Structure 1
Amino acid sequence: MTALIVAEHDNTHLNALTLNAVTAARACSDEVHILVSGHQARQVAEHAAQVAGVSKVLFADAPHLAEQLAENTAAQVLAQAGNYTHILFAATSNGKSIAPRVAARLDVAQISEITAVVAPDTFERPIYAGNAIATIKSDDPIKVLTVRSTSFAAGADSGGNAAIDNVVSVADSGMSSFVSREVSKSDRPELAAARIIVSGGRALGSADKFQSTLLPLAEKLGAALGASRAAVDSGYAPNDLQVGQTGKIVAPDLYIACGISGAIQHLAGMKDSKVIVAINKDADAPIFAIADYGLEADLFTAIPELLQALQD
């Protein structure tokens, strides 16, 4: 059995979430290959070749693959699919866009957001907002999987020496075209990969208070900023900071929830964090049920006191 991982990258750097998919792939099969589909992305392929446990890197290079549009990337995956028993994607917006197209064309069932590999044909995935775990056995000849990165340790990004094979690029489908991209820039760590996250909810009251209250704490701890859906919907924080079932799934070493009540949707995205600290003035807030440490207090008083204690 051989598994193919579709690499996440920006034509310059290999996304760290690909390393989590490598760990999942090694649990599925005896041999692991990585497909790097892009343009002028040779250094990404070279980085992928150094990942421990990877025996081959397939490199497809063409201008129309530069932005990894779902239609073209799916076609590139399908061109190689016949050689593999498992095809894995990181469960990102990109992976979730490409994987269904691949599964549909192969006429197989996609298994989404796997959190464990029980056997090469059997996987676990959360359902009902993470309140239950389904065990799924697939008899499909090719398993198309998306991998919840927080459930698998990242593979080592060095120590490997895989061969790089140049593969023929598929033709441009012409079904979509890249127009523009607006990328928000931040000095904060990337949310999905952060070791510490400071997250805020609707109780912050405004976008200004969200930034002025949480940003000093995040900077002091070297943490990423997160937000509940209520805070995002209220305009306090941008969409890319949303943690939860409809946002990003995170599992940092430390998650500090400030003014977050703990709706099921939010808990589904962060309850696997190693240590959860909750600050909320409502003693009955559901977040306290899963918190390792809970502080019943006004966050506008508690956070400045916490900052002062950290400085002392």
Structure 2
Amino acid sequence: MNRKVTRTVCFFYFGALLSSLFFAYRAGMLNDPRGFYAQNDQFRFLFNFVNSLSGIVSSFLVVRIMQFNLRSDKLLLVLFLLVTLFIGSRGGIISPLIGIFTAYVYYRKQGRIKLGKVLFFALVVLVLIMALSFFRAGEFSASVMLSAFSLQVFYGNSFSDLRDFSWILSVWDGVHFYGKTYLAAFMSFIPSSISEFRYQWSIGKVTAVMAGYSPKEHPGLRPGMFGESYFNFGIVGVILLGILLGYAWKYFDHNIRKYAYTDNKIGGFVAGVSTMFIGSLSITAGFFGIYVVIVVYCCLYLYKLFLNVYKKTTA
């Protein structure tokens, strides 16, 4: 993992994040940038781009830390976690920690780890998710957090997939979408502000309308791992998605184990990236991120070619 490339992507991410916060600040919504972009479809692509880019940056840093164990990379990861707090993205904070733990299990423990350590890590992640939820809601009182912890775990919005699926199912008219939300996801490189089809059939907007909310005020409900496939194709969709997800996870597990025995961190990283498309079929709300990954990787490839040519011409 090239150091210059990683630094370039990191600082580009920091610049894009500051730009997204600037628009929210101009609108007087710096404390709620997610709300600002939910209300302004013409700018939402910027917020989605920053969220998608955060996953790329965190994965690059995690791989470099596992490969080189440099203090500068660790400091960059800490800086990344701090600045990502400002966009209210729990996934952006939690994902690199899960990535580090996964790499530790496979590359340090060869896939063997005591159940107690897994449970402890799960507890840490749970507490962190809840803390970030309170932080995003503007609640900073430790006593309030502790008293409302169990209430938020069982009845809050952090783990609401089953509740949200039940909610949507209760108001569903029984007419399947027949792939419309998937087609809208495949078209996610087109802003919904200029595409009536995407505005109507993006899964977030569909679930928000079904629940009685305005898409400008609510990002939508989470229908769970198999909810979207069910609403599109019924039981057949659930079966097909289950087969695809099973294949993707088995492929990832097999390859990362193989690369772990040879201590090939890059190979393990590539194995994870290669399953992104199938993984995104579960809930297509973040499908836009796949196009960001493709564009960023193509740009980085061209950038690397430029560096190689530059080195040869100056040698």
Q: TM-score, normalised by structure 2?
A: 0.26
> Which structure is higher in RCO with an 8 Å CA cutoff and minimum separation 6?
2
Q: TM-score, normalised by structure 1?
A: 0.26
Higher strand share: 1
Higher helix share: 2
